[in-house]
Amino acid sequence: MSLRFERLRGGAAGPRLGRLHTARGVVETPAFMPVATRGMMRGPWPDRMRSMGAQMLLANAFHLFARPGAETVEALGGLHRYMAWDGPVLTDSGGFQGFSIGGARLEEDAIVIPHPVGGHSVRWTPALAFETQAALRPDIAMVLDECPPDPRDRVAVAAAVARTLRWAREQRDLHEARGGLAQSGQALFAIVQGGVHEDLRAACAEALISMQFDGYAIGGVSVGEEHGAMMLGVEYSAGQLPPDQVRYLMGVGTPRELVEAVARGIDLFDCVHPARAGRFGAAMTAGGMLNLKNAAFKADPRPIEPGCGCDACATGVPRGALRAGLKDDELLPMSLLAHHNLHFIQSLMKEMRDAIAADAFEGFRSRIASVWTPRPPRA
């Protein structure tokens, strides 16, 4: 078997330590996957990912389908070669793009999404999402699901759960026809939906578990709801999932959210937020977020974070120079800040693993909560 989760500490609830064994290496959990949406990191160079602590990367199947196409990725040596990364890779199915790309609409058997390059409509079906990921050959592929825009809208969320389950069964059948994990070497993870409704989350998880997927993710959170509602969705789902399989929370990546989700039993994360925040001039530090575009940093000679051991801080480029470059849309400051923020998050995950191992998680949790307030809900 090319994928196995080994639970080292913790149980069905609370913080856990584990190892996700893959054909391309072991991932120590809790772990954060940097996002290379189109197969390329936006900022950090591929050969810097290991040194910052990254163990596993994420790419997006829909965006790679749109450009350059799975056939081109295959011709260039496959997804891992395309990404210049020899560690494990997970591909998202594109369900979130049905929520996030303007003009997308839902049909019974597909999400119709405007092509991000050509503008024409793409009927992104469960079968096409599955076949695209089979061609890309990541270590873990995600099922196509429906991500409802408002997790509080019970009627819409119930319909999303029903559609997600129908699509999951279809993709599970395709996975079995391909020989499953054992023969294809590719794991298939299901996604639990249900918004902030405990009974819908429980029903969705129960149905997916009965289909016997290789792992389980929690979706439909961090879509604009406030922090407490987000964590309710996490609790309602995590408590229903098998304790000896990896639990992946999709699209969550601020320090406070990561720590609070680990407190609720989550093992694996991804999010564009750290790198994207860096590209917009924000630096994650031990004292909180700094907006380096502010005038206060105009003549600041210090690196991004004094004492930080990341490659970006080691360059010595001062905050004042980064601010000036950001104002002129220079690429270097965006790249350095994206790199620093990802290094910061990887260091946070390592600290969190150490705290769990030392029975010191609650102290660590309190320290993070004292610095990082939850992001406000989107209007």
Q: What is the reported pLDDT for 119?
A: 81
- Average pLDDT estimate for 149-158: 93
Rounded CA separation 53/152 (Å): 36
Phi, psi of 230 (to 5 degrees): -60, -45
Q: Which sequence spans correspond to the domains of the chain?
A: 3-271, 278-368
Average pLDDT value for the chain: 95
Q: What is the reported pLDDT for 377?
A: 62
Q: What is the reported pLDDT for 1?
A: 52
Determine contact, residues 319/301, Cβ cutoff 8 Å.
yes
Catalytic positions: 92, 270
Rounded CA separation 182/212 (Å): 14
- Average pLDDT estimate for 172-190: 97
Q: Which two tokens stand for residue 42?
A: 């936006």
Reported pTM = 0.96
Which of helix, strand or coil describes residue 282?
A: strand
3-271 CATH: 3.20.20.105
| Per-residue pLDDT reduced to its tens digit, 32-58 | 999 999 999 999 999 999 999 999 999
Burial (Cβ within 10 Å: 0-12, 13-18, ≥19) of residue 21: middle
User: Where does the pLDDT of residue 337 fall: very low under 50, low under 70, confident under 90, or very high at 90 and above?
Assistant: very high
- How many helices (H) and strands (E) the chain has is answered by 15, 16
Q: Which two tokens stand for residue 183?
A: 């023969």
- Average pLDDT estimate for 74-92: 97
Q: Is the pLDDT of residue 375 over 80?
A: no
- Average pLDDT estimate for 281-305: 98
224 or 74, which is more confident?
74
Rounded CA separation 349/338 (Å): 17
Q: What is the reported pLDDT for 93?
A: 95
